[in-house]
Amino acid sequence: MKHRYLILTVLTAMVLAVSVSCGKRGKSNDADAHVADTDTLVNVGPMGFDQDSLTVKEGVVKSGQFFSTLLGSLGMNAQDAYNLTQACDTVFDVKTLRVGQSYKAYYSTEDKLEYLVYDRDRMSCVVFDCTSPFDAWVYVKPVEFRDRYADVTISSSLWNDMLAADVSPLLILSLSDIYAWTVDFFGLQKGDRFRVLYQEKLCDGNVIAVDTVRYAVFSHNGEDFPAILFDQKDGGNIWWNEKGESMRKAFLKAPLKYSRISSGFSYARRHPVTRKVQPHTGVDYAAPKGTPVMTIGDGVITSMKYEGAGGNTVRIRHNSVYSTAYLHLSKYAKGLKVGQRVRQGDVIGYVGSTGRSTGPHLDFRVWKNGSPINPLKMDSPPAEPLKAEFKDEFAAAYRGYQHEIDAIQARTVVQALFELL
């Protein structure tokens, strides 16, 4: 908690200081410069000007709109638009103006454009002083952190059920990383349950990131699979199961994110192109073209070439037992070459439809001791366990997380009972 308040204090101080002037027209880039003359600037807001004294109009950048035409649509003449663009080129590259990005235009009582605030991203914006001698600076928005507990049982899909429970789907990204070696997120079933203690990061009241997941429990078929955050300060794994075994395993469960299985492992599949019954010793993951494809484990690239029906293919030898192949890629990752060693999770290519294919997908194949095996049924041994000297501290942390969830659930039950009275 102390760290969170420290972060907020620092960010609040930054809010009052982030005025990075382009400097061509002589305005200072210090926040003090915007408040130096207290006779003329009494209520300077956090963005460097008095918003309350001006009229605001909101909008978004339209298709085909340039910075100059945007300024023109807001009432600025062509010469002033040119001068502002030239004066602020060290702060804002007008070529980075993006369609759909929001902005706010502030006008004086004479309906004269005074300031333009362009949302550069979700955490910062560029403030343009639209009056001579013109200026611009970056304003970093304040952020806050909020502790949350999520309890989601799947009835339709994890995405929809999280939305229904007022939980940001961004949590799925964190959970998929934590459980990447344990849970196949393509095979989640109705009734599966996630309970999670986490911290989310907010800006302008919107969740922009899941900052930290502290503890999670995945329940499937009556069995619980805890994931405990514990850092033993060795730069390695920080996620463990209840036995102190690493959540990280030798292989990822899947080589890409957010897709569906369009064809499974079979020795008698009717090929969608040839219509002939033939073996398909892999798993097809349907995904949009360009979706990053990752190696499921550490290894060495043994082949990277166009392989006829398989199209652009990357083959990796992981050890003396396992090897994998990734087929139908649209292109390879930059810098990749045969003989190169890759690490688990490295992007090796992108989903495509090269070779004999009916649409964008990844044909993923695994061999064990030279024989093809079903990737969805492949076992993977855990990585190094927790060090012995940390086991007591880890056990205490695990108990603490359990008690925290028990207390939250007890309060929920009591609250529900009171609502019934």
Phi, psi of 341 (to 5 degrees): -90, 135
Distance from C-alpha of 229 to C-alpha of 237, rounded to nearest angstrom: 9
- The pLDDT of residue 263 is 76
Say if residue 133 is in the same domain as residue 151: no
What mean pLDDT comes out for the span 338-354?
A: 94
Say if residue 118 is in the same domain as residue 215: no
Q: Which of 58-62, 64-68, 178-182 has the lowest mean pLDDT?
A: 178-182
Q: Considering just the CA atoms, what is the radius of gyration of the chain in Å? A: 27
**Residue given tokens 């219509």 in the structure block:** 275
Say if residue 310 is in the same domain as residue 232: no
Would you say residue 71 lies in a domain? yes
Would you say residue 393 lies in a domain? no
Is the pLDDT at 149 greater than 60? The verdict is: yes
Q: How confident is the model at residue 98 (pLDDT cuts 50, 70, 90)?
A: very high
Say if residue 175 is in the same domain as residue 231: yes
Would you say residue 81 lies in a domain? yes
Higher per-residue confidence, 202 vs 186: 202
Q: Domain total for the chain?
A: 3
Say if residue 192 is in the same domain as residue 100: no
What mean pLDDT comes out for the span 114-142?
A: 93
What mean pLDDT comes out for the span 281-293?
A: 91
Say if residue 116 is in the same domain as residue 157: no
Say if residue 53 is in the same domain as residue 134: yes
Would you say residue 325 lies in a domain? yes
Is the pLDDT at 42 greater than 80? The verdict is: no
What mean pLDDT comes out for the span 373-387?
A: 80
- The pLDDT of residue 44 is 62
Would you say residue 274 lies in a domain? yes
Say if residue 92 is in the same domain as residue 180: no
**Residues 150-187 pLDDT 10s:** 999 999 888 899 999 999 888 988 898 888 777 877 77
Say if residue 366 is in the same domain as residue 285: yes
Q: How confident is the model at residue 241 (pLDDT cuts 50, 70, 90)?
A: very high
Say if residue 17 is in the same domain as residue 133: yes
Is the pLDDT at 22 greater than 70? The verdict is: no
- The pLDDT of residue 320 is 77
Burial of 150 (0-12, 13-18, 19+ CB in 10 A): buried
Burial of 176 (0-12, 13-18, 19+ CB in 10 A): middle
For 75, the token pair is: 């009432």
**Residues 28-39 pLDDT 10s:** 333 333 333 434
Would you say residue 420 lies in a domain? no
What are the CA-CA distances from residue 317 to residues 117, 292, 415 (Å)?
52, 20, 56
Sheet strands (E) in 154-298 = 193-203, 206-220, 223-229, 239-240, 260-263, 266-270, 277-280, 283-286, 292-294
Say if residue 200 is in the same domain as residue 269: no
Last residue of a domain, one of 124, 140, 156: 140
Sheet strands (E) in 64-142 = 102-107, 113-119, 124-129, 135-140
Three-state SS at 149: strand
Per the structure, the complete domain to which residue 309 belongs is given by: 260-377
Which residues have a Cβ under 8 Å from the Cβ of 417 and sit 6 or more positions away?
Answer: none
**Residue given tokens 């899909």 in the structure block:** 157
Higher per-residue confidence, 274 vs 87: 87
pTM greater than the 0.95 cutoff: no
Decide if 179 contacts 185 (C-beta within 8 A).
Answer: yes
Q: How confident is the model at residue 381 (pLDDT cuts 50, 70, 90)?
A: low
Say if residue 25 is in the same domain as residue 104: yes
Last residue of a domain, one of 188, 211, 240: 240
Q: Which of 150-154, 325-329, 332-336, 382-386 has the lowest mean pLDDT?
A: 382-386
Last residue of a domain, one of 98, 118, 140: 140
Give the CATH number of the domain where residue 226 resides: 3.10.450.350
Q: Across all residues in the chain, what is the average pLDDT?
A: 84
- The pLDDT of residue 28 is 35
- Sign of the alpha-carbon dihedral angle for 349, 351, 353, 355: positive
